[in-house]
Amino acid sequence: MAANSVNRDDVELGSLYRDTVLDHFRSPRGRKKLDRVDLSRLGHNPVCGDRMSMSIKLEGDKIADIEVETKGCAISVASASMLAELVPGLTKEQARNLAESFRGMMHGQPTPKDLEIGDLDSLEGVKNFPVRVKCALLGWMTLLDALSGAGDAKGITVTED
């Protein structure tokens, strides 16, 4: 293959991922109001100004439902939308493991083969743009903060490198 040629499969795969991110950005999931809120947190990424609010409804140790409202870039909104699709029905521990695995993926670590990550694989390329990693992680770090149950903390600022 010539140095300047483009692999058609790579172009189609890149387009699919771009389409997935744009779908989540244009039609974010998790925007419905909950009938009960057991945990809530605010998240902020000072690097680019992304902001989010997250509300969680629990049923015992499980996340029954989640509401996320994100104002920010396409990566931040799409990642939070993917979170809203993946987390309901998980135990708090399963949600923590998913969040930690996604954080690892954003820092170049492989995700466990048996972990269902849904559309999150479409964000894997973000790891090549360190400033954007914080955008992708905002929702997930907010989720971890909410699940930590640390007192009455109502907000998190993503400052992780």
Cα 100 from chain centre: 11
3-state secondary structure the chain: CCCCCCCHHHHHHHHHHHHHHHHHHHCCCCCCCCCCCCEEEEEEECCCCEEEEEEEEEECCEEEEEEEEEECCHHHHHHHHHHHHHCCCCEHHHHHHHHHHHHHHHCCCCCCCCCCCHHHHHHHHHHHCHHHHHHHHHHHHHHHHHHHCCCCCCEEECCCC
User: Per residue of the chain (161 residues), what is the pLDDT tens digit?
Assistant: 444 444 444 444 355 458 888 899 999 999 999 999 999 999 999 888 999 999 999 999 999 999 999 999 999 999 999 999 999 999 999 999 999 999 999 999 998 888 889 899 899 989 988 889 999 999 999 999 999 975 444 555 665 54
| CATH number assigned to the domain covering 30-157 | 3.90.1010.10
